[in-house]
């Protein structure tokens, strides 16, 4: 049987047209991809509460979606907005103050720095050289100050962009809630087309993983940020709201929140508030540090769904790829990929003996 040229060209043209349409759609949706991913994560993590609320309201999905979106805007976006405004103001102030301070000259080096072992004498000599207007050292310092100030200003701008994406994702989540049943049928049918009978099982694994990461990592981060802000505000530490936001952002990094607490305690100690400094250390170790372990143990078990190295990659890579929201979006996506890959690989593995099986 001889094939005509038109029989070969027509499928190729159809395939080229399909690829062109997919590329065009991706180009149109690219600016909203971060917000859409967050919306999907929010809806997946809160679908159970949404269904419960809709049932109590007589299956009025639109009203339930409106109430949940309003709650997210009030209790999530508004506090983050206030904290981000204060944080951005402090970053902008530091970006302007540091170059001015370098130009005006440096104050006396604190005695405790000069008394440090090994590095104290070197730091005192370098500081004295700066005070004596050692132009070679000052030129190097000015070369570092400029880029540092630009980084601070870009971080302040990234906060605004992250909040805008969060607002957009919450609004998108409202649309997904209202059309949830239809979208669920589409997703199930698509998964079955791609993965066959195992498609729905993969969806269940995906949903449980997202819920575990959102409630475990993000829920613990929000709880730590709130507790940190409360302790800092009661102790009278300035910019407590900004520091609470910083604790929330670094909470996914082991040792991040205690570092902020120790710095705040040191500031209180230098102000002569020895009692408050000790209470601050205790608060961060017992309250802020404990809530992270409690939430993760209750929600995702004692074993994290991600190794520490992948958590760090997720935080840094997510921040680079998606901005402020990427601090949480990165680990969530990596946890989802890691869990799906682990379950797929284990399909053909022999069943381990009871003593070798992982504890739940």
| 138 touches 146 (CB < 8 A) | no
Q: Give the pLDDT band (50/70/90) at residue 305.
A: low
Residue 74: pLDDT over 70: yes
- Comparison of pLDDT for 306 and 161, the residue scoring more: 161
Distance CA 18, CA 158 (A): 36
Residue 301's contacts (CB-CB under 8 Å, 6 or more residues apart) are 360
Exposed (0-12), middle (13-18) or buried (19+): which is 65, by Cβ within 10 Å? buried
Hunting for tokens 């921040």 — which residue is that? 319
Distance CA 102, CA 130 (A): 9
Reported as a single tens digit per residue, the pLDDT across 231-244 is: 999 998 888 888 88
Reported as a single tens digit per residue, the pLDDT across 257-283 is: 888 888 889 888 888 888 999 999 999
Residue 329's contacts (CB-CB under 8 Å, 6 or more residues apart) are 34, 37, 38, 41, 318, 322
Proportion of the chain above pLDDT 70, given as a percent: 72
What is the predicted pLDDT for the residue at 232? 92
Residue 156: pLDDT over 50: yes
Structure pTM? 0.67
Reported as a single tens digit per residue, the pLDDT across 86-143 is: 777 777 776 676 666 666 656 666 666 666 666 677 777 777 776 665 555 556 665 6
What is the predicted pLDDT for the residue at 73? 87
Distance CA 220, CA 299 (A): 10
181 token code pair: 């049943």
Proportion of the chain above pLDDT 90, given as a percent: 4
Q: N- to C-terminal Cα distance for the chain?
A: 60
**From 87-91, 178-182, 334-338, the region with the lowest mean pLDDT:** 87-91
Residue 223: pLDDT over 70: yes
Reported as a single tens digit per residue, the pLDDT across 5-41 is: 566 677 778 788 888 888 988 888 888 888 888 888 8
């Amino acid at each position: 049987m001889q094939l005509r040229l038109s029989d070969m060209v027509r499928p190729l043209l159809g395939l080229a047209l399909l690829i062109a349409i997919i590329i065009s759609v991706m180009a149109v949706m690219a600016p909203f991809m971060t917000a859409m991913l967050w919306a999907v994560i929010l809806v997946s993590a809160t679908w159970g509460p949404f269904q419960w609320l809709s049932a109590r309201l007589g299956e009025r999905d639109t009203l339930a979606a409106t109430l949940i979106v309003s709650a997210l805007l009030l209790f999530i976006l508004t506090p983050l907005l206030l904290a981000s405004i204060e944080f951005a103001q402090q970053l902008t102030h530091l970006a302007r103050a540091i170059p001015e301070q370098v130009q005006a000259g440096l104050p006396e080096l604190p005695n405790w720095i000069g008394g440090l072992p090994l590095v104290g004498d070197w730091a005192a000599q370098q500081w004295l050289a700066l005070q004596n207007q050692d132009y070679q050292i000052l030129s190097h310092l000015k070369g570092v100050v400029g880029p540092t100030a630009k980084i601070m200003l870009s971080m302040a701008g990234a906060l605004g962009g992250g909040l805008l994406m969060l607002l957009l994702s919450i609004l998108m989540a409202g649309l997904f809630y209202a059309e949830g049943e239809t979208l669920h049928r589409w997703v199930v049918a698509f998964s079955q087309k791609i993965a066959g009978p195992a498609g729905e099982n993969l969806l269940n694994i995906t949903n449980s993983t997202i819920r575990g990461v959102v409630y475990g990592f993000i829920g613990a981060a929000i709880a730590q940020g709130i507790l940190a802000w409360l302790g800092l505000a009661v102790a009278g530490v300035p910019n407590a709201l900004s520091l609470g936001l910083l604790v929330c952002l670094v909470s996914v990094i082991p040792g991040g929140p205690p570092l902020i607490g120790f710095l705040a305690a040191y500031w209180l100690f230098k102000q002569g508030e020895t009692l408050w400094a000790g209470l601050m250390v205790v608060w961060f170790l017992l309250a802020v540090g404990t809530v992270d372990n409690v939430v993760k143990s209750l929600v995702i078990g004692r074993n994290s769904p991600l190794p520490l190295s992948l958590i760090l990659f997720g935080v840094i890579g997510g921040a680079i790829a998606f901005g402020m929201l990427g601090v949480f979006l990165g680990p969530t996506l990596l946890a989802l990929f890691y869990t799906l890959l682990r379950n797929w690989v284990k399909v053909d593995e022999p069943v381990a003996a009871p003593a070798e099986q992982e504890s739940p």
